[in-house]
Chains A and B, each alone.
Chain A
Amino acid sequence: MSAASVADAQLAQKRRRNALDAWLRFLRYATVRAITLGLVVVVAVYLTVLIANMGGKVDQIRLAQIEEEIGLSFLGNPQVQMMSVEERAAYRDQLVQLEVKRLGLDQPLLVRSFRYLKQGLTLNLGRSEELSSDSGSRQVRYILLERLPATLLLWGTAQILLFFLALFTALFLSGRYGSIIDKIVVALAPTSAAPGWFYGIFFILIFAAVLGWLPFGGIVDAPVPDNRWEYALSVLRHLVLPTAAQFASGLFLLIYSWRTFFLIYSSEDYVEMARAKGLKRGAVERRYILRPTLPYIITNFALLLISVWTGGIILETVFNWPGLGRLLYSAIHLYDTPVIVGSTVLYAYLLAATVFLLDIIYALVDPRVRVGTEGRES
């Protein structure tokens, strides 16, 4: 074995070790982030429970429910009917006390709040007051989870499309500073002051009410198509307007701010250098402008996502989209407290998941976090 090949083998081994190291570091980073976010969620849910039960509002509702249930059970009970008024009241109080004890409502608020926290975290919020899931269940957890896919579908489609469309348009425009398209986009940026639902109302007015091209709302045609392809097509048609509404409210501002950022970076010396080397425009944009700015772009997008997640509640309501937001709207109108608290908790989970996902993507694109000394090529 020649000395050269031994050196090669050593180098290869070292690279492998480095790659492994980088992975381990990444894993450690991801785990630490997951644990931190987990703790953050616990605190957030605890706060939610406290807000929901500030001044014992939830307890009052539950107490009233117990009293009503016991009152109702008396109606069909001939033995109770025979009692005198005082006896009946005493019996009633006794039953209420038993039930209160059984549910632990007599414990101090602090103890109860931790129990509520556990119930909130596991979405084990018992039965809803009015709403039921499509499969007929009154369990809050089923009602919530049933709505989740629709929300994720609308949200995922809209935001992923929005991200890539804005990113590539911004890159494209940064190379054409001062052109007419660039000026139009800059002029249109203030339209982002209005939220998605606001544009949604207009889109429904124009494309559904006046032109009749697209459906007013909902997720699928009625009657529901049997054919799987027709079903998918119908869902797609229903997705167009809510997605477009989110685009209208987010796209131009994103393009504008990212384009500006790219512009700042494209005057850096190393970019000029790359251009001078004769690299193609696309290569310069991708390797020398996009790479170093991606972490900023992702942070920026994360903040946007967090601020618009809950805006989806009204968008879904306007478009009658059967997701979490629409559920929350129905729950408000029926004063269905368990569902309202449950949705809030689920939204907290969704926000945490979004933050975690973006943290991971951030770590993947930012070399400082990944800290694999030899970079991706190894």
Chain B
Amino acid sequence: MKQMAIFRYPTAIIGLLIIMGLFVLAGYALTQYTYDEAVALWRGDENTWAETPRNAIPKWLNMLQGNKLPETIKISTLENPDIKERIDYEYYAVVTTEMTFDYQYDAFPSELAVFYTSPTDGERPFVTAYWDTPDGRSIELEARSINPTQRVYLGMDQNLQKLYGNTPVEIGLFMDPNAETPTVLKGQYKLRLEGYLFDDVSDVDAKLVVYGKVHGWAGTDHRRRDMMVALLFGTPIALAFGFLAALGSTLTTFFISAVGAWYGRWVDALIQRITEVNMILPSLPILIMVGTLYSRNIWVILGVVILQGIFGGSVKTYRSIFLQTKSAPYIDAARVYGAGNARLIFRYMIPRIIPVLIPSFVTLIPTYVFLEASLALLGLGDPVLPTWGKLLQDAGENGALFRGYYYWIAQPAALLMLTGLGFAMVGFALDRIYNPRLRGQ
């Protein structure tokens, strides 16, 4: 059984496992986000990624490294109303909020921000804020009136900037004042907010975000986006693109060469000439031209890729196989009993040589997956879709290699490599099974 023979090749088994893994990943990604959600997440309006740190490293990398980098800490009065206390006076009210957290990390956070929300119809509340450190110091932050939704980055705080000078605020607030080089003072920190409300409807809620340096299993990019979105959703995109492009070009090439070999004469000659012209036509520059002048939509590009593949180099290979098959006795026999051209092509010739086609089809898939990544790397990726290639391009454009964000490149690259290896391993094994001469002696 040829179908079972594949299990005799250990590399093919590994390849199959990799492919299965990728399909599971793709399926999982599709249960997590719909197409539109993934696009919306990756385009990311200003609120989508407000609470994730910039350029945070992935968790797995933090585990490998010795020192413990901080994760993002969020404390919100909307989620725990009991840290907020309201006392009403005759003409005004005071809302006191105490946000306490334990900071036991070796490194400083990357940023600090407070997100305020208050009812739109009331008088604007006035908030004073104090930062209490574990060693008992209390630092007064800038007091301000609060808009209905307001984001206050402590790095912009006038008081703190004056206090710490050239030291960034997120380091200054967490620094041990007695240490020579900046070291983290571990322990309980507290942000105390006093909100003064001047009418009955008014209220103030706050959320403290201490941005960490680690985020999720994939880390974040320069625009605070969780790279997991692109890694996950890139999987179905890559597989679909690779699979459809390979299927489209293989089937059409196959059909064209069958027709050429069958009808011969001018049809064959025409197909041969078109193939020669197509061979000289530089495929990638043409795709680049299409991408630059017309559309970067991945499905348009897919169509062009398939069009380019119709008269690919394999027309010659398939044609020679068809020519051999055409002169086989069973074809003559079929013709004698009166089978028509279409029947002969579809029922007699194509099934006979499909085994030649399957290995090349499987090995073509990763070629197209990499083609999509290549286009993305050139800046011609789909403008809205999160793909692996676009992660690589973002990494390249933002100097990931120079700035040491190796994971930014390593993660999509690893997935691309797995895809390439998985399909190639299976394809090679299939080739050896279907073409026994290759098995060696």
Q: Which of A36, A52, A306 contacts B289 (CB 8 A)?
A: A52
Is B329's CB within 8 Å of the partner chain A? no
Asked whether, in the complex, the Cβ of A209 is within 8 Å of the Cβ of B280, the reply is no
B426 nearest CB neighbor, chain A only: A190
Q: Which of B282, B363, B427, B437 has the most CB of A within 10 A?
A: B282
Docked-complex contact A317 and B285, CB < 8 angstroms: no
Question: Which among B282, B379, B428, B441 is the interface contact of A348 at CB below 8 angstroms?
Answer: B282
Is A343 part of the contact surface with B, judged by Cβ < 8 Å?
yes
The reply to whether B285 and A193 form a contact with Cβ atoms under 8 Å apart is no
B374 near A: Cβ within 8 Å?
yes
Chain B nearest Cβ from A274, distance in angstroms:
17
Interface residues of B in 393-439 (CB under 8 A from A): 396, 401-402, 406, 409, 413, 416-417, 420-421, 423-425, 427-428, 437-438
Which of A40-48, A164-172, A286-294 faces chain B?
A: A40-48
Give residues of chain B (122-181) contacting chain A, Cβ–Cβ below 8 Å.
Answer: none
When distances are taken between beta carbons in the complex, the residues of chain B under 8 Å from A340 are: 285, 288-289, 292
Complex-state Cα separation, A307 to B283, whole angstroms: 9
- Contacting B at CB under 8 A, from A3-51, are 36-37, 40-41, 43-44, 47-48, 51
Does any Cβ of A come within 8 Å of B354's Cβ? no
A190-B420, A204-B401 are contacts. A263–B285 as well, Cβ < 8 Å?
no
CB interface residues, B 244-283, toward A, < 8 Å: 273, 276-277, 279-283
Measured CB to CB, the nearest residue on chain B to A303 is B313
Contact between B292 and A193, CB atoms less than 8 A apart: no
Least CB separation from B369: chain A residue: A193
Are the CB atoms of A348 and B281 closer together than 8 Å? yes
B289 adjacent to A189 (CB under 8 Å): no
Min Cβ gap B248→A in Å is 18
Instruction: Find the A residue at minimum CB distance from B395.
Output: A201
**Cα-based distance from A48 to B279 in the complex (angstroms):** 13
The answer to whether B437 touches A193 (Cβ under 8 A) is: no
Contacts of B423 in A (CB 8 A): 193
How far does the Cβ of A153 sit from chain B's closest Cβ, in whole Å?
A: 19
Does residue A246 face the partner (Cβ distance < 8 Å to B)? no
Q: Do B277 and A47 have beta carbons less than 8 Å apart?
A: yes
Q: Give the docked Cα–Cα distance between A337 and B291 (Å).
A: 12
- Give the contacts of A28-85 with B (CB-CB under 8 A): 36-37, 40-41, 43-44, 47-48, 51-52, 54-55, 57-58
In the assembled complex, the Cα of A341 lies from the Cα of B373 at a distance in Å of: 22
Do B285 and A260 touch (CB < 8 A)? no
Q: Kindly report which residue of chain A lies nearest to residue B287, judged by CB atoms.
A: A310
Interface residues of A in 256-275 (CB under 8 A from B): 260, 263-264, 267
Q: Are A332 and B292 in contact (CB under 8 A)?
A: yes
Closest CB of chain A to B356's CB: distance in Å?
A: 15
- A44: which of B281, B284, B401, B440 is its contact (CB, 8 Å)? B281
Q: What is the chain A residue whose CB lies nearest that of B419?
A: A193
> Bound complex: CA of A209 vs CA of B409, how far in Å?
13
**CB atoms of A40 and B276 under 8 A apart:** yes
Contact B378–A332 (Cβ < 8 Å): yes
By a CB distance below 8 angstroms, the chain A residues around B441 are 177, 263, 267
A131 at the interface (CB under 8 A from B): no
**B290 contacts partner chain A, Cβ-Cβ < 8 Å:** yes
> Among B293, B380, B417, which residue has its beta carbon within 8 angstroms of that of A57?
B293
**B417 contact set on A, CB distance < 8 A:** 194, 198
Say yes or no for A192: interface residue by CB 8 A criterion.
Answer: yes
A174 — nearest CB in chain B belongs to which residue? B440
Tell me whether A333 is interfacial, beta carbon within 8 Å: yes
Does A373 lie at the interface of the complex (its beta carbon under 8 Å from any beta carbon of B)?
no
Q: What residues of chain B lie closer than 8 Å to A41, measured between beta carbons?
A: 280
Interchain residue pairs with CB less than 8 A apart (16): A40-B277, A47-B277, A177-B440, A193-B366, A193-B370, A194-B366, A194-B420, A195-B374, A260-B440, A310-B282, A311-B374, A318-B377, A329-B378, A344-B288, A351-B280, A352-B280
Binding site for A on B (CB under 8 A): 11, 15, 273, 276-277, 279-286, 288-294, 313, 363, 366-367, 370, 373-374, 377-380, 392, 396, 401-402, 406, 409, 413, 416-417, 420-421, 423-425, 427-428, 437-438, 440-441
Given A47-B277, A340-B292, A355-B279, 13 more A-B residue pairs with CB atoms under 8 Å apart are: A190-B420, A191-B424, A193-B421, A193-B423, A198-B373, A216-B401, A267-B441, A311-B374, A313-B288, A314-B378, A332-B380, A344-B286, A351-B282
Closest 3 CB pairs of A and B: A193-B420, A190-B424, A347-B282
